[in-house]
């Protein structure tokens, strides 16, 4: 019987026992380093728990939750109308001070019947949308320029922020002197109200874009224009959309202020004009109708434009699960 011989690897460094220990350490299950046997129940439970944490998502809103969410604003409106009517019944204020909900509804029905409500709504919407689009076309390149150029931003950034704080109604007297009683006066006031908000929103969005995005764009050979349009602007969309939303709110308020103060001449008759007409005639029902229409338009724009746009953007960024909100 031949004695057993051991042949060692000539390229190995160290004794064979050391290599065997290294091999065992390299092939050891990850759980053993933590003192956990991967075959035991505790090891499997730990792995399952980690997987659950990684895959945990926000459950979608059910049908009943959606109905509840939709009914809450309706319940709030009904409550306000009820309190309003109770106050009119108990206190009995003069109709020219505070009419009841029924009087306001009858006034609204009369304005709709003679077509005046549709005309003033259309006039104000045309002005508001046109002014907002012009503001976006001006503010977007201006905001990108200031966000990319530190010198220009340092020079004009405080001015833009100051214009955003300045009430746009302060521009109405100057606009009347410069442009007269024309639509140019209204559009100027709308632009001065919307542009600063959009510019600052876009600058804020660009500031949140990681520098790695720009470096990757340079590595891939993107020029300055392609870098801004294809990388920086898409990455800055959350701040940009927030600026657009705020810009629309400012433009809508600026429009109402301009229509209230600047009346007559070649100016059309919008919701602000209807509001001022009700004040001059001491017809508080007309005033409240105009206020309610202005409020309703703001809510509708939020629900059908900016709300869905924000949710879609959040879903694309992975910040909102499908079926939520």
CA 21, CA 10: separation in Å to the nearest integer?
18
DSSP state of 170: G
Percent of the chain at pLDDT exceeding 90: 46
Alpha-carbon torsion angle 251, 256, 258, 261, nearest 10:
-160
Tokens of 24: 């065992």
- Segment 131-155, tens digit of pLDDT: 999 999 999 999 999 998 889 999 9
pLDDT confidence tier of residue 265, bands split at 50, 70 and 90:
low
Q: Residue 284 pLDDT more than 90?
A: yes
Percent of the chain at pLDDT exceeding 70: 78
Residue 37 Cα distances to 22, 24, 28, 114, 275, angstroms: 19, 15, 10, 83, 77
Q: Residue 165 pLDDT more than 80?
A: yes
- Segment 87-111, tens digit of pLDDT: 999 988 888 889 999 999 999 999 9
pLDDT confidence tier of residue 255, bands split at 50, 70 and 90:
very high
Q: Residue 31 pLDDT more than 70?
A: no
Which positions ≥6 away from 77 have C-beta within 8 Å?
none
- Segment 290-320, tens digit of pLDDT: 999 999 999 899 889 888 888 888 778 766 6
- Segment 195-233, tens digit of pLDDT: 999 999 999 999 988 888 888 888 888 777 888 888 888
Q: Which residue has the tokens 């304005």?
A: 111
Residue 94 Cα distances to 6, 23, 88, 103, 163, angstroms: 113, 95, 9, 12, 41
């Amino acid at each position: 019987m031949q004695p057993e011989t051991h042949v060692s690897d000539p390229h190995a460094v160290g004794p064979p026992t050391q290599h065997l220990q290294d091999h065992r350490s390299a092939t050891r299950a990850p759980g053993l380093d933590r003192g956990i046997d991967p075959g035991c129940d505790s090891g499997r439970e730990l792995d399952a728990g980690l997987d659950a944490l990684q895959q945990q998502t926000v459950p979608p809103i059910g049908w009943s939750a959606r109905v509840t969410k939709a009914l809450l604003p309706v319940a709030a409106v009904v409550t306000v109308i009820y309190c309003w009517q109770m106050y009119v019944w108990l206190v009995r204020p003069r109709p020219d001070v505070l009419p009841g909900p029924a009087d306001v509804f009858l006034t609204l029905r009369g304005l709709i019947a003679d077509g005046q409500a549709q005309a003033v709504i259309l006039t104000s919407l045309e002005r508001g949308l046109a002014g907002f689009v012009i503001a976006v076309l001006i503010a977007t390149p201006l905001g990108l320029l200031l966000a990319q150029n530190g010198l220009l931003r340092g020079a004009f950034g405080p001015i833009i922020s100051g214009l955003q704080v300045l009430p746009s109604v302060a521009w109405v007297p100057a606009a009347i002197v410069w442009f007269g009683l024309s639509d140019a006066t209204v559009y100027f006031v709308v632009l001065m109200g919307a542009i600063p908000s959009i510019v600052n929103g876009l600058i804020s969005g660009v500031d949140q874009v990681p520098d790695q995005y720009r470096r990757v764009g340079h590595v891939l050979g993107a020029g300055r224009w392609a870098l801004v349009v294809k990388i920086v602007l898409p990455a800055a969309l959350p701040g940009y959309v927030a600026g657009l939303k705020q810009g629309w709110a400012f433009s809508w308020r600026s429009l109402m202020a301009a229509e209230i103060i600047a009346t007559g001449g070649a100016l059309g008759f919008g919701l602000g004009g209807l509001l001022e007409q009700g004040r001059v005639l001491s017809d508080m029902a007309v005033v409240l109708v105009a206020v309610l229409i202005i409020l309703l338009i703001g809510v509708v724009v939020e629900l059908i434009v900016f709300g869905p746009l924000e949710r879609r953007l959040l879903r694309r960024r992975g910040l909102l699960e499908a079926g939520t909100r």
